[in-house]
């Protein structure tokens, strides 16, 4: 899946399915590992996009040396 819009749509559908199954089963923890993975992956992709092309927010970004958080 190379199209970013398709990737976002797929992630949205997966998260919606997890939420629906939670409501059906009453299990609030159902699919939490998958949900966390998807959300972390989306944040990493966003960070990468910003790093590669910060655009107008570049003056407000602070570079960290490797190993710093």
Q: Are 37 and 49 spatial neighbours (Cβ–Cβ below 8 Å)?
A: no
Residue 54 has what pLDDT? 86
Residue with tokens 């398709």: 6
Q: What is the pLDDT of residues 1-41, one digit of tens each?
A: 468 888 899 999 999 999 999 999 999 999 999 999 999 99
36: containing domain: 4-60
Q: For residue 18, is it within any domain?
A: yes
Distance in angstroms (rounded) separating the CA atoms of residues 22 and 4: 27
Does residue 67 lie in a domain region?
no
66 is a domain residue: no
3-state secondary structure of 32: helix
47 occurs within a structural domain: yes
Count up the domains in the chain and report the number.
1
Is the pLDDT at 62 greater than 80? The verdict is no
Q: Is residue 69 part of a domain?
A: no
Q: How far is CA 12 from CA 7, 26, 48, in A?
A: 9, 21, 20
């Amino acid at each position: 899946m190379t199209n970013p819009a398709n990737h976002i749509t797929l992630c949205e559908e997966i998260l919606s399915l997890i939420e629906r199954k939670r409501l059906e089963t009453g299990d609030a923890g159902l699919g939490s590992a998958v949900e966390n993975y998807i959300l972390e992956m989306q944040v990493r992709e966003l960070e990468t996009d910003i790093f590669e092309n910060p655009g107008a927010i570049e003056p407000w970004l602070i570079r960290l040396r490797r190993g710093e958080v």
